[in-house]
């Protein structure tokens, strides 16, 4: 009878010990979390590399070693510089003033025009009158309707900027929501890992406890 009990106990203990020694089955949730972690790490690494490249470029072009006096940065003005006669830059006149005086640039323009006409480099034909009429009409249109069109375009730009404020607020809210979602998923993942770790330890400790109890029972018999 004692040998029969020992045989029954060993037949009951061996499957439990084999079940405890076998590896746990793969969990699809953990696989999905690992894939998500890999994608997030690759994306964060890509973003960090892009930010580092931009920081290096900014340090090269706008850092302390650049000579901003002799090689300043290009700044695009919102309006064109001052002009004379509607199309000639004022800087040309300012450069000629010290050598020719105030009337020098105008005399230079008039003299060069007479030179081109006298040498027939600038040929006067019937289309020349059309050019004069075109320049006159375009100058009048620009002087008459230019400020109105400019104000209208500036108003449209201001309206577009004011409407973009709502989109900017929504984008910031979405960014905050994404950060909260990332924090929530990270905490959920931590909880899942902790619970999974406890369950694994529990499944490994329960057969051992049963085995020890049976071993004690066998000894007592």
- At 168-191, the pLDDT tens digits run 888 888 888 888 888 888 898 888
pLDDT score for 21 = 44
Tokens of 48: 């960090």
pLDDT score for 32 = 62
Burial of 109: CB neighbours in 10 Å, binned 0-12, 13-18, 19+: middle
Q: What is the pTM of this model?
A: 0.36
The residues facing 174 across adjacent strands are none
Tokens of 211: 């085995």
Tokens of 125: 């034909």
For residues 5 and 48, which has the higher predicted lDDT (pLDDT)?
A: 48
- Mean pLDDT of all residues in 95-114: 89
CB 107 within 8 A of CB 100: yes
User: Mean pLDDT, the chain, as a whole number?
Assistant: 78
Q: Which helix (H) or strand (E) holds 51?
A: helix 28-62
pLDDT score for 114 = 92
Residue of 76, 79, 1, 12 lying closest to 214 (CA atoms): 12
pLDDT score for 30 = 67
pLDDT digits (tens, 9 = 90+) for 111-163: 998 999 898 888 888 888 888 889 889 989 988 998 899 899 988 888 888 88
pLDDT digits (tens, 9 = 90+) for 14-64: 444 444 444 445 566 567 667 767 777 777 777 788 888 888 888 888 888
Residue 215's pLDDT band (cuts 50, 70, 90): low
Q: Rounded to whole angstroms, how far apart are CA atoms 136 and 130?
A: 10
């Amino acid at each position: 009878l004692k040998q029969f009990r020992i045989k029954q106990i060993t037949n009951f203990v061996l499957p439990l010990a084999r079940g405890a020694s076998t590896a746990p089955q793969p969990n699809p949730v953990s696989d999905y979390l690992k894939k998500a972690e890999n994608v997030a790490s690759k994306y964060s690494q890509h973003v960090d590399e892009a930010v580092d490249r931009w920081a290096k470029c900014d340090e090269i072009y706008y850092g302390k070693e650049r000579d901003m006096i002799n090689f300043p940065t290009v700044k695009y003005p919102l309006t064109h510089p001052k002009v004379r006669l509607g199309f000639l830059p004022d800087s040309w006149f300012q450069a000629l003033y010290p050598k020719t005086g105030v009337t020098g640039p105008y005399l230079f323009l008039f003299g060069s025009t007479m030179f081109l006409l006298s040498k027939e480099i600038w040929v006067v034909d019937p289309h020349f009158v059309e050019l004069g009429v075109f320049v006159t009409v375009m100058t009048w249109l620009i002087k008459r309707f230019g400020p109105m069109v400019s104000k209208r375009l500036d108003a449209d730009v201001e309206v577009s900027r004011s409407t973009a404020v709502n989109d900017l607020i929504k984008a910031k809210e979405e960014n905050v929501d994404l950060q909260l979602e990332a924090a929530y998923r990270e905490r959920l993942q931590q909880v899942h890992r902790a619970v999974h770790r406890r369950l694994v330890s529990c499944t490994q400790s329960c057969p051992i406890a049963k085995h020890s109890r049976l071993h004690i029972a066998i000894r007592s018999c």
